[in-house]
Amino acid sequence: MKYNQLYINGEWVNPISNQFLDIENPANRKIIEKVPRGNEEDVNVAVEAAKNAFVSWKNLGPGKRQEYVQGMIDHLVSRFEEMAPVLASELGSTEKFALKGHLEGYEESMYAFLEHHKSISYVEDRGNYRLYRRPQGIVACITPWNYPFGQIAKKVIPALLAGNTVILKPSKSTPLTAYFWAEAAESVNLPKGVFNLVTGKGGEVGNVLADHPDVNAITFTGSTNGGKEIASHGISHSVKRVTLELGGKSAAIFLKGADYSDALKGVLDSVYLNVGQTCSAKTRLLIPREERETIEKLLIEKTKEYPFGNPLLDEKAKVGVLNSEDQWNKVKKYVELGLKEGAKILYGEVPEEIGTGYEIQPVIFTDVLPDMKIAQEEIFGPVLSVLFYDTIEEAIEIANNSIYGLSGIVYGPDKEEALLVASEIRTGQVQVNGAAISQDSPFGGFKESGMGREGALEGLEEFYEYQTIFI
């Protein structure tokens, strides 16, 4: 794999910047690779390539585009076993979770995009006018570090199917997995300039893409502050189409009489398995006050079933390490803040010092009040806040007391009651009684959790413009 080069206009090229970024393995804090630190000149070359390729790609026809994209997906799936250790090494997860959670977990949704694309009508006759679906043009796909494969899949696949040309800018922390996408494009002889890969820092590549007058759309996943910055650049310079998938502080509501043991597995999976580095993690647990003793006891028991550890040193570790020193320090700061705010630690302790890697243990806070910062701000670590409520109306109010609106879950003994409560939660997704989340579903949020949707038919529709021609 040519990690020291960029992929532009169908070729592996040296960066004009002639500068590189060190990629660290979070499990041992050692540098494992270097990737180009792209700059404005590199971006300009990639944009020119994408611009030159656009007309022929959009006119190629939906069926032919689909053949290329399916070939890329087939190639990627065939490389999962080889990709897993690479993803694990740059993210800090175990190889097993990299394979099952980060790679195989997205296989169904990738192929589902192909089926949704077959259902798209590029021309609809509506009496005295025709409605045409047109590609947006050049799309900048700016992806996060916490899901370095899945977030690329949800952007690049529908963008290409819709007839757009793409410039992928992966996170500077986890860019290695993105190179498999360039390899996939090369493997099917994707026309030159249709897919381009430019690595680098957000301010030096991402913002330049957002500012560039020839880039027509941006799809971004990351922090809410990062999304606001990207959107500001994109809209203020050339009114680009912007899709944002941002932060979350999702709530889990346990109604009295629910199967608490089963419910806790669903909640803790979301909070622990990616070391809390998941925007849709249910990090606020709302429980009936009178059920406190029962649920807190179960929380301690269930948490012990998640062996955290360094995947390079502990073969029994199910949950790996945090992705960076910044993340480790951030989690430590919030644990200390929670104690200062008056919350109590039910399980865990304040992290003391960084070890061989960025190891962390889970922390559960109890006696958390709704307006505490640990209940309002996204920590992005394995930290759970337990809040108490006295009435269902109060639980709904607490759940909606957030600037975010990404996800949620409701457990109750009566499905209809749980569904009724779920319908009052102002978030883009809500699970009822542990219903499995499908990656082939619209994903996105209300409020400051973003704009637009990723995944499923709705995620494909994000990459079209609609043209009306009256006849």
- Catalytic residues, which ones? 245, 279
d(CA 347, CA 338): 13
Which stretches does DSSP call E strand in 304-461? Answer: 344-347, 363-366, 383-389, 404-405, 408-411, 431-432, 446-447, 450-451
Where in 267-416 does DSSP place strands (E)?
284-288, 344-347, 363-366, 383-389, 404-405, 408-411
**Distance (Å, whole) CA 427 – CA 279:** 13
**Alpha helical stretches, state H, 162-223:** 178-187, 207-211
Residue type, 145: W
In angstroms, the CA 291 to CA 252 distance is 15
CA distances for 432 relative to 186, 202, 255, 294, 391, angstroms? 43, 37, 11, 21, 19
Structure tokens at 454: 């990723």
Q: How many C-beta atoms surround the C-beta of residue 71 within 10 A?
A: 16
Contact between residue 170 and residue 149 where contact means Cβ atoms under 8 Å apart: no
Nearest to 219 by CA among 153, 121, 122: 153
What is the three-class DSSP state of 23? strand
Pick left, alpha or beta for residue 114 (phi over 0 → left; psi -120 to 50 → alpha; otherwise beta).
alpha
Q: In terms of DSSP bridges, do strands 165-169 and 195-197 run parallel, antiparallel, or are they unpaired?
A: parallel
Token pair of 14 as six digits:
């040296």
How far CA 131 is from CA of 26, 60, 272, in Å, comes to 50, 19, 46
Tally helices (H) and strands (E) across the chain: 16, 22
Instruction: Collect all residues with Cβ–Cβ distance below 8 Å to 53 and sequence separation of at least 6.
Output: 9, 165, 191, 192, 193, 194
CA pair distance 400, 370, nearest whole angstrom? 10
Burial of 75 (0-12, 13-18, 19+ CB in 10 A): middle
Residue 328 C-alpha from the chain's centroid = 19
